[in-house]
Amino acid sequence: MNSTFYLPLWFFKAKFLGKKDPLQSVIFISDKCNLACKHCNVYSRQNPNIKTYEQIKEELEYCYKRGSRFVDFEGGEPTIWTDGDYDINSLIALAKHIGFFSTTVTTNAVLPFDKLKADSIWVSLDGLGEYHNRIRGNGVFDKLVKNIETSGHPDLSVNMVVNALNYQSVDETIEFVKDNPFIKSISINFHTPYKGTESLFLNWDIRCQVIDKVIAYKKKKYPIMNSVSGLKLMKHNKFKKQCWVSNFILADGTRLNTCSGENAGICDQCGLCMAGEMHSVMTLKPDTILAGMRLRM
Ligand SMILES: C[S@@+](CC[C@H](N)C(=O)[O-])C[C@H]1O[C@@H](n2cnc3c(N)ncnc32)[C@H](O)[C@@H]1O
Ligand code: SF4
């Protein structure tokens, strides 16, 4: 069954029959990374977990059997993953062979990714110039700009995580995306205070001001992936979370039926835009459904 039939069927089962089958899987293929970003507690320098091709194959099959049809390869840095002759493109081909409709890779864009065969690519961009570098390391921003330009990928968006160090850069980053012909859209997220990164949490007043600004840009037709309904929910986070729409398999192999923020007990402070977007889809907000369809179909 193709996505045109599968998606409405999945939605009907979820909304009206109460079935909680994941639609998307997030697979952390390793936690090895070529950066050590200030806001991140996922990567491991000392003893990274690096999954084998066989392990990832088994995980993909498990996700597919559970009903998932979209997969996002995460890390660590997914573009540096190898197992013998296998690389990230081998995993993309494998996922398509198993039957996933679409594959996504999220990358820091430090290395060229012009050979990357994912259906869509998310590049992490945490502000312009020094704002990005302050979080991710010296020289990283210039590499990102160059590698985006040379990637030639038709479906490339950027993901900004707004925190206490970069919130002043939100306007210029949105303008940069609008003027950059190689980038389709930007998604705005906020720092989620995982253990060890609590100090970067943005206070709620500033968060609300940033959200109002982003909504204004969205209304002016800037290429912002978030829906207005989803953005409004992120102002207070007081809504029923529907994060079971994605399942997660961590770098150590742990399988979660919902986001790791719930396990860490920090849902109230969550900054990931997908939480609000999922709630808005389930409560039939037309603007969010439209945004989701643009992303998925
Ligand atoms: C863990 S990284 C892995 C992929 C790749 N290394 C990268 O940086 O794009 C995936 C995404 O999680 C985001 N992230 C990391 N720590 C976060 C946090 N504490 N709160 C919200 N997002 C976070 C990153 O900015 C990135 O966009
Ligand atoms: S590049 Fe990605 S995985 Fe690596 S430290 Fe930064 S956010 Fe974490």
Q: Write down the H helix ranges in the chain.
A: 3-16, 53-65, 88-98, 130-136, 140-151, 170-179, 204-219, 228-233, 260-263, 273-282, 286-296
First-to-last C-alpha distance (Å) of the chain: 14
pLDDT band per the 50, 70, 90 thresholds, residue 215: very high
Dihedral angle computed from the Cα positions of residues 168, 72, 144 and 33, in that order, rounded to the nearest 10 degrees: 100
DSSP 8-state class, residue 40: -
91 CA distance to ligand 2 middle (Å): 20
Ligand 2 centroid–CA 106 distance in Å is: 10
Residue 115 CA to residue 69 CA, distance in Å, equals 23
The mean-pLDDT minimum among 2-16, 82-96, 199-213, 218-232 falls in 2-16
Q: Looking at the CA of 109, which ligand is closest?
A: 1
Give the residue, by CA position, lying nearest to ligand 2 atom 7.
40
User: Cβ neighbours of residue 88 under 8 Å, at least 6 residues apart?
Assistant: 29, 73, 78, 79, 81, 105, 116, 118
Pick from 122, 134, 115: nearest CA to 38: 134
Domains with residue ranges and CATH for the chain: 3-296 (3.20.20.70)
Q: Which residues line ligand 1 (CB under 6 A)?
A: 33, 39-40, 42, 74-75, 77, 106-108, 124, 159, 161, 189, 191-192, 194, 197, 271
Count of Cβ atoms closer than 10 Å to residue 160 Cβ: 24
Q: Nearest to residue 140, comparing CAs of 108, 176, 186?
A: 108
Confidence of residue 297 (pLDDT cuts 50, 70, 90): low
Tokens describing residue 238: 């007081």
Question: What does the alpha-carbon distance between residue 125 and residue 174 come to, in Å, rounded to a whole number?
Answer: 11
Using CA atoms, how far apart are residues 266 and 271, in angstroms rounded to an integer?
10
Residue 294: pLDDT over 70: no
Query: Residue 166's pLDDT band (boundaries 50, 70, 90)?
Result: very high
145 residue type, one letter = V
Q: Is the pLDDT of residue 42 over 90?
A: yes
Phi, psi for residue 2 in degrees, rounded to 5 = -85, 175
Burial class from Cβ neighbours inside 10 Å (0-12, 13-18, 19+) for residue 251 reads buried
| Residue 297: strand, helix, or coil | coil
- What residue's CA is closest to ligand 2, atom 6? 37
Q: Work out which ligand 2 atom sits closest to the CA atom of 110.
A: 1
pLDDT tens sequence across 264-290: 889 889 998 887 788 777 777 767 666
Of the given ranges (6-20, 48-62, 111-125, 269-283), which has the lowest mean pLDDT? 269-283
How many angstroms is it from 13 CA to the middle of ligand 2? 35
Ligand 2 surroundings by CB, under 6 angstroms: 33, 35-37, 40, 42-43, 75-77, 108
Atom of ligand 1 nearest to the CA of 107: 9
